[in-house]
């Protein structure tokens, strides 16, 4: 990735709400609009497995320099650099809006993430993880951390139901307070959960989901109730999303009444400069 004068990939949008909203900076949007025009000439991304990255190491990828226009190819390098360097606020989360436009849609983001993944993976493993279609979600995706070996998670929604389900978020700090006050959960389990999220052992996703939500556990009902009461609900639709530190915020989605397609969102997981 080449260096140039620093510029930001996202700029704040003043909405007056409690959480910070951002959108593409002018420069990033202009690069993306030009990228959108070249997408018909791109090969189809392939799925590969990232070595040594555990069970969920499958990712979409594109070869490193598939764009014929040299100037644009260089600009995409700079975009990857700007994404790598973007600093989340100390809270570890930004919400994103107005990411789609006349030329930029979910398909363009799908191709962009496949390309950025390769460029970002020069620094550390990066994943543009495929999303499975879900016929009918009875329980939604309760609060969780993805626990990839790297922790910056950029999610952009595409085809999500227009009503009746929202994204859910909770800072890790608040989640720990809830765990500490949970009467029904043994101390040793609380310790295990905190270690799974904060430790660097990786690939603890299945164990985390099991410990938090398996019906067999005596604490499941109490935990579920308190999380549902305290989680933040944010309606996020196509062209909106978030970037967060997966170890500082838990995320999820409420129950949805309709089937959700595999292109409901695009997800890029990588190591940013500040996430070390």
Scan for tokens 């329980």, then name that residue: 139
Query: Nearer Cβ to Fe ion, position 146 or 254?
Result: 146
Confirm or reject binding of residue 246 to Fe ion (CB under 5 A). Answer: no
Query: Nearer Cβ to Fe ion, position 10 or 141?
Result: 141
Mapped onto helix, strand or coil, the DSSP state of residue 269 is strand
Phi, psi angles (nearest 5°) of residue 183: -70, -35
| DSSP letter assigned to residue 263 | G
Query: Nearer Cβ to Fe ion, position 56 or 84?
Result: 56
CB of 42 to Fe ion, least distance (A): 27
Cβ pair 265, 158 in contact under 8 A: yes
The secondary structure of 117-152 as a DSSP string is HHHHTTTS--B------BS--SS-EEEE----SS-E
Closest CB to Fe ion: residue number = 146
Query: Nearer Cβ to Fe ion, position 167 or 272?
Result: 167
CB of 127 to Fe ion, least distance (A): 12
C-alpha–C-alpha distance, residues 66 and 68, integer Å: 6
CB of 251 to Fe ion, least distance (A): 6
CB atoms within 10 A of CB 130: 13
| Host H or E run for residue 261 | none
CB of 177 to Fe ion, least distance (A): 22
C-alpha–C-alpha distance, residues 17 and 199, integer Å: 32
Task: For residue 152, give the nearest of 78, 65, 251 by alpha carbon.
Answer: 251
Site size toward Fe ion (CB under 5 A) is: 1
CB of 79 to Fe ion, least distance (A): 24
Site for Fe ion in 118-157 (CB under 5 A): 146
Query: Nearer Cβ to Fe ion, position 35 or 249?
Result: 249
C-alpha–C-alpha distance, residues 156 and 267, integer Å: 6
Query: Nearer Cβ to Fe ion, position 29 or 253?
Result: 253
Task: For residue 75, give the nearest of 181, 157, 4, 160 by alpha carbon.
Answer: 4
Task: For residue 263, give the nearest of 108, 100, 106 by alpha carbon.
Answer: 106
CB of 66 to Fe ion, least distance (A): 28
Query: Nearer Cβ to Fe ion, position 75 or 146?
Result: 146
CB of 146 to Fe ion, least distance (A): 4
Binding residues vs Fe ion (CB under 5 A): 146
């Amino acid at each position: 990735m080449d260096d140039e004068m620093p510029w930001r990939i996202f700029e704040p949008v003043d909405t007056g709400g409690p959480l910070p909203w951002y959108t593409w900076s002018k420069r990033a949007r202009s690069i993306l609009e030009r990228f959108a025009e070249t997408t018909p000439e791109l090969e189809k991304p392939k799925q590969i497995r990232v070595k040594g990255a555990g069970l969920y190491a499958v990712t979409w990828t594109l070869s490193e320099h598939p764009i014929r226009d040299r100037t644009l190819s260089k600009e995409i390098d700079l975009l990857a650099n700007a994404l790598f360097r973007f600093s989340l606020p100390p809270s570890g989360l930004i919400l994103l809006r107005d990411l789609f436009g006349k030329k930029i849609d979910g398909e363009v983001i799908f191709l962009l993430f496949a390309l950025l993944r390769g460029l970002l993976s020069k620094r550390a493993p990066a994943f543009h993880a495929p999303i499975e279609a879900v016929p009918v979600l009875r329980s939604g995706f309760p609060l969780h951390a993805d626990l990839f070996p790297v922790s910056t998670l950029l999610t952009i929604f595409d085809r999500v139901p227009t009503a009746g389900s929202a994204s859910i978020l909770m800072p890790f700090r608040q989640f720990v307070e809830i765990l500490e006050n949970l009467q029904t959960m043994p101390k040793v389990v609380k310790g295990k959960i905190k270690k799974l999220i904060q430790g660097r052992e990786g690939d603890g996703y299945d164990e985390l989901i099991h410990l938090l939500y398996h019906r067999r556990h005596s604490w499941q009902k109490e935990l579920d109730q308190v999380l549902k009461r305290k989680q933040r609900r944010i309606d996020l639709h196509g062209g909106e999303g978030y970037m967060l530190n997966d170890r500082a915020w838990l995320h999820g989605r409420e129950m949805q009444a309709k089937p959700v397609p595999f292109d409901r969102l695009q997800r890029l997981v990588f190591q940013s400069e500040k996430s070390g």
